[in-house]
Chains A and B, each alone.
Chain A
Amino acid sequence: DQQVKQNSPSLSVQEGRISILNCDYTNSMFDYFLWYKKYPAEGPTFLISISSIKDKNEDGRFTVFLNKSAKHLSLHIVPSQPGDSAVYFCAASGSNYQLIWGAGTKLIIKP
């Protein structure tokens, strides 16, 4: 039972363009959402988060959008840079603070 789904296993984007990574969830009790980035042979690192009381959070080149009615969030990276090539995990939590993770999307930035 996947409560957090990242339906695109991989995404290829030209350097300088916008990267859009998507995430869907099924549990309406989730109230906090996070994106983590993972390079090979390293652990995931926190990137950006959003609370359910907001619909947008921005941090430099990274913006996360939350559509609660659609149970959908997305991560926008603009402009995309070669160093953004990594696996991006979406995660969600509710009142028990336990994170539920998606399977990740591998982002490849082409020069």
Chain B
Amino acid sequence: DTAVSQTPKYLVTQMGNDKSIKCEQNLGHDTMYWYKQDSKKFLKIMFSYNNKELIINETVPNRFSPKSPDKAHLNLHINSLELGDSAVYFCASCPTLAGANVLTFGAGSRLTVL
């Protein structure tokens, strides 16, 4: 039973399209994150939600819109996809915002924009 699950695992799409990546955690954690792993392999935080409330919103284009219908889910919607959006996107969760930063990650969603 996967603790943090992301779908889809792979996504290939054309420039200009709109796509979504879903994330669910069954750990009962309060805090969820979206990270982007770029071509240089750095993991960069995009968004953080705590109990469905947006806490961290890094300098991400507003084409990216996270949605948290409940604290177990954090979905990522991307409008007007660009080539530079190609990356691996990781969802993660941790028990509380002021925790020890021990995150549980999903397996990642590899997005390829053609």
Contacts and interface: CB of A to CB of B under 8 A. Distances in A.
B108 A93 contact: no
B101 A32 contact: yes
B110 to A, nearest CB: 9
Contacts of B42: 101-103
A98 B101 CA distance: 8
B101 A103 contact: no
Contacts of B108: 41-43
Contacts of A34: 101-102
Contact of A32 (B56, B97, B100, B103): B100
Contacts, number: 51
B101 A93 contact: yes
Contacts of B102: 34, 46, 49
B99 A97 contact: yes
B49 interface: no
Interface residues of B, number: 23
Contact-residue bracket for chain A? 20 to 34
B60 to A, nearest CB: 14
Contacts of A25: none
A103 B100 CA distance: 21
B92 interface: yes
Nearest to B91: A43
A44 B43 contact: yes
Interface string B12-54: 0000000000000000000000000000111111001000000
B101 A91 contact: yes
B106 to A, nearest CB: 5
A98 to B, nearest CB: 6
Given A32-B100, A43-B106, A91-B43, 4 more contacts: A34-B101, A44-B103, A97-B99, A99-B101
20 contacts: A32-B100, A41-B108, A42-B108, A43-B92, A43-B107, A44-B90, A46-B103, A49-B102, A89-B43, A91-B101, A93-B101, A97-B98, A98-B45, A98-B48, A99-B45, A99-B101, A99-B103, A101-B44, A103-B41, A104-B41
